[in-house]
Structure 1
Amino acid sequence: MLDIQLAKPVMENEEGMNHLWVQFSLTDFLKTKQAEISIQLPDGLYRSPNLNGYKENMSNQILINLERDKDVLIEIYTHSAINIEEAAITVELRYTNCLNNIKEILQSIPIHFVHEDESEHLTVNEQVISRLKELLSPIPQDKVEFLSVQSKIMEIRNNEYSYLEKKYRVDC
């Protein structure tokens, strides 16, 4: 139902950054449109708004449409040193099923905090990085539509205020 991945399984304990990728299978949520995703982070770990651009409410729950949305990508980071070695990030998907019952799916993923010198030789999840690049890349050229705007041609007409138009008109 939920597949949660981190770009790296560990993170620097001070000024570290990572990306959390939450994917969900649409076949599990038949006849369900709206859902909310909540992310609980350990103390000292923060997150930016989701990189997909989905709406978030005042409680930082990400509002998704299960008919079209397939994943959520979030940047997580630290401000200052974290004095723990391991913690868990918990992701909760909440939706209403076809019987009008509220369903919740909880899943946790462990994250290890290391010092800067220990984080250089880590393996990186290339799938998460590919999805990140996909979200952050500019719009492909074949998807760009051009809009042509033609300016109005204005004529100076003779009327009782035409002397003002001649005096103050600015042509661009």
Structure 2
Amino acid sequence: MKESFKHVKDSVVTMTEMVLPNDTNTLNNLMGGKLMHWMDVVAAIAAQRHSNSIVVTASVDNISFKNPIALGNVVTLNAQVTRAFNTSMEVYIEVFAEDIPANSKYASHKAFFTFVAVDSEGKPVKVPELKPVNGKEEELYKGALRRRQLRLILAKRMDPKDATELLALFDSEGIGQKE
């Protein structure tokens, strides 16, 4: 029997890679596709740790390529589950790049990935609830429902009128109130 809930710390994963020549584009920077692959791997491991199941990638939110990562840099990817729904989990990934000889480290990317837990036949299975325990975890947890509703609207799987968490953002500002 699986646990009824888990904590964020149970899903935390840190992965470190070095940018090698085969990973780079013609400007000697890490190729975006290679970074997305690493992000998918680290996020999948976090989702597996939370669900104790096989997981499949369901969606990837916007990945903005804020800062390039150069040949020879060390890349650290941190992932953690931010919220669990019935069979899906949202995973937050932060990416840092480090130029060790220059003693320089900087944040380069952030993203949210969604995974669905499945059985050996590919059928979705229930996942444990997530219990946030501190301010940052609680903030990511609360935002996950709004991000989920936005993803579902964009995928045409939810009517915008039913996105109560998103509507509440606007209603709290007096926007969209009926006269």
- TM-score between the two structures when normalised by the length of structure 2: 0.26
Greater relative contact order (CA < 8 Å, ≥ 6 in sequence): 1
Higher helix share: 2
Tell me which structure has the larger Cα radius of gyration: 1
Higher strand share: 1
- TM-score between the two structures when normalised by the length of structure 1: 0.27
